[in-house]
Amino acid sequence: MVIRIDASRAVVVGAAVLATTAMLVAASVRADEDPFSVLHEEQTITGASKRPQPLSETPSAVTVITADEIRAHGYHTLADALRWVRGVFVTYDRNYSYVGVRGLQRPGDYNNKVLLAIDGHSLNGSVYEDGLFGSELGLDMETVERIEVVRGPGSAIYGSNAVLAVVNVVTRRASRESGVTVDGWTGGQREGRAFGSIASSHPGRPEWSLSGSWLQSRGADLYFPEYDDPLTHRGRTENADGEQAYGLLGNADWHGLHLTAKFNERMKRIPTGAFNTTFGDRRSRTYDGHDFVELSGSRELSPAFELNGRVYWDGSRYRGYYVYGPDTATVVNHDRGDGDAVGSEWRAHWSPGAGHVVTFGAVGELHPRLILQNYDIDPFNMLANVRGHSGVVAGYAEDERRLGSRAILTAGGRVDRYSGFDPVFSPRLDLVVHATPRLTWKLLAGSAFRAPSINETDYSFTDQIPNPNLGPERVTTVESEVARVAGPLTMLVSGYQSFVRGLIDLAEIDTVGTLQYTNRERVRSQGIEGELAWVRRGGTRVRLAVACQRSVVKETEAELTNSPRWNAQLAWTHAPSEGRVTLGLGLRHLSSRITLAGNRTAAADIADARIGLRIGRDVVAGLEGRNLFDDRYGDPGSEEHLEDQIVQDGRALFATLTYRPVLRP
């Protein structure tokens, strides 16, 4: 199937939405006859406008992954959970996990077009602007209360990097924890993990929680046909895919103040021979970590005025050790990218009248230390040494007004001022209409940007030169979404269109192959998404989502690499609050994608399952199966890979054991 929306693109997308709306209305039941209203408890999210809002009133298309779903399905990392979100897909190059949204995820783009936040704290790195979503993030899923995936441009509130989506992870507070929790699993490719947490919550005293984990994995033994030669072990690697990781997270609340601290480090071996390293050498590896400490608080100065503030420090760290040459004369190359950020954000919510909320805020962030280095260790040979600093100041405002009893109009924008290019203005205008108590229509429009990183503007290395005149990437998106609740069923359909201009890409700028990051392409993306969610008393939920999209380079109409036309997920969750058995079953389909060499990957059809059995009151044993049918497929490789496709994991089984006392009233 080919999606073409030429001069009448918006008409076609709008007609599809309106036609589906008519079908939903015709098939629905009257709201006052709905006997299942108790099942549809309105979820409250904070990631869309940085304040609590009912899901049906948020000026964005949002998916929420709950703690019940996380535990029933046994998601190990944030990337695992995002694979089951409408319109989202994840690729893995045997080192990092990369998140694509609505067909956009260029190989090698460092996850810099999706903004990652933990409790509203932006967590993209200072040097590469990278978001970490796999085990490199060091976030234990046991500490997560919910995951909010806010699609579309989010720069009007968050600034840079919120181009395609904002992923806001809400962690559990001490009052929601059970004192002491111990968890662990083993399985897969000789993988073992242990987790523990302790929490204290008593009226009139500080509430606090502290958790930590440790992970070790041998990794898979792999075969890469591009290296099928006697000099490279016939393309086979052994014990070259392993990793080790630890993570710590602490939270404390006292007198309206909240303190959060996160620390982690992960070591990952590189089995792919990336960057022309010696294939199969176990010494080639990367170390990653992202730490932060934040103190935040809120104060209600009057019934109509609330003030929020936060001060923070972030530290992102990367080390790469890359081995070159034969076994008898290897050279170890050291690659480094470190950055610190200190900043503050102040935000106020003011309600001048009924049904009217105004938000305005100011952000100041300084990056006092940005380091990019590359050198050979022995004999020492400095190849690149970039040291810099940067900063940004920004102000934003958002005005939400209720138009009568059925409509909400939200208008807002943010101005970001970086050194090196003109201030960037990111506006948004959104309309939410409750046509009936069970039928909601959203019309969403906005613009977002990504500021170029120091890696793109200043880095110089052998055949690559810097580009101090590099400008930001910009995206403009228009979207319409209709949602209808009919008994136990919620039906949703959306159509969208995005234009990306000034896309930053590493390109050859002369006939001798000199590389430079440039604003080189414009991209057009459009698609239609649908979702059915069915809920039943007793903790059973079923979600079916299908997304169809087409993303092309506007000048040539060429399809983007790593851009799946179809993306579908079916997730069945059974997680009764007092039940003995939990079940999670997932089926997902990802259509073929074009690689950098112009080939196509095989379609991926993956089945995962997990069963948990409560033993006594406080202990749960679980059995997990990943890729149960052992589907063989690969993800497109990036420029640093000789491989056109990176082979993905086959079937794996895990056994888990959790001690978590049941919260007592």
Percentage of the chain modeled with pLDDT above 90: 80
Q: What pLDDT score does 606 carry? A: 97
- Looking at residue 443, its pLDDT comes to 96
Please answer whether residues 348 and 302 qualify as being in contact, where contact means their C-beta atoms are separated by less than 8 angstroms.
no
Nearest C-alpha neighbor of 104 from the set 591, 480, 562, 425: 562
The pTM is what?
0.92
Say what the pLDDT of residue 578 is. Answer: 78
pLDDT of residue 41: 63
**Which among 408, 403, 416, 420 is positioned nearest to 447, based on CA atoms?**
416
42 pLDDT above the threshold of 80: no
* Residue 414 Cα to chain centre, angstroms: 22
Among 223-232, 337-346, 407-416, the minimum mean pLDDT is found in 223-232
Of residues 79, 175, 293, the one with CA closest to residue 665? 175
pLDDT for residue 507: 83
- Looking at residue 216, its amino acid is Q
Lowest mean pLDDT among 26-40, 140-154, 413-427: 26-40
pLDDT tens for 347-398 read: 999 999 999 999 999 999 999 999 999 999 989 999 999 999 999 999 999 9
Degrees, nearest 5: CA angle 364-369-373: 140
Report pLDDT for 27: 41
What is the model's pLDDT at position 416? 97
pLDDT for 384 equals 93
Tell me how far apart the 2 most distant CA atoms of the chain are, in Å. 79
The amino acid at residue 312 is Y
The confidence score (pLDDT) of residue 3 equals 39
CA dihedral 332, 290, 177, 170 (to 10 degrees): -130
Tell me the pLDDT tens digit for each residue of 546-562: 999 999 998 889 999 99
Find the Cα–Cα–Cα–Cα dihedral 569, 84, 193, 610, rounded to 10°: -40
The predicted pLDDT at position 407 comes to: 96
Domains of the chain by residue range:
9-659
Distance CA 521, CA 558 (A): 11
Section 147-155 average pLDDT: 95
Per-residue pLDDT for 664 more than 70?
no
The share of the chain scoring above pLDDT 70, in percent, equals: 93
| Of 136-140, 172-176, 295-299, 612-616, the least confident | 172-176
In contact, 142 and 197? CB cutoff 8 Å: yes
Three-class SS of 211-222: EEEEEEECCCCE
Q: Which amino acid does the sequence have at 657?
A: L
Question: What's residue 173's pLDDT?
Answer: 87
Give residue-wise pLDDT tens across range 169-194: 999 988 877 789 999 999 988 899 99
AA letter at 193: R
What's the pLDDT at 660?
85
Q: Which residues pair with 650 in a beta bridge?
A: none
Q: How confident is the model at residue 29 (pLDDT cuts 50, 70, 90)?
A: very low
Confidence of residue 326 (pLDDT cuts 50, 70, 90): confident
- Closest of 3, 7, 4, 10 to residue 497, by C-alpha: 10
Of 188, 72, 88, 93, nearest to 136 by C-alpha is: 93
CA distance 262 to 127: 19
Q: Which residues contact 137 (CB under 8 A, 6 or more apart)?
A: 77, 78, 116, 264, 290
Task: Decide: residue 590, CB within 10 A, 0-12 exposed, 13-18 middle, 19+ buried.
Answer: buried
Cα 45-51-55 angle, rounded to 5 deg: 30
Report the pLDDT value the prediction gives residue 31, as an integer from 0 to 100.
37
pLDDT mean over 402-426: 94
- 665 — pLDDT class (breaks 50, 70, 90): very low
For domain 9-659, is the CATH number 2.40.170.20?
yes
For residue range 215-252, list pLDDT tens digits in order.
999 999 999 999 999 988 899 999 999 999 999 999 99
Residue 663 has a pLDDT of 58
Which tokens in the block code for residue 121? 């704290």
- The pLDDT value recorded for residue 520 is 81
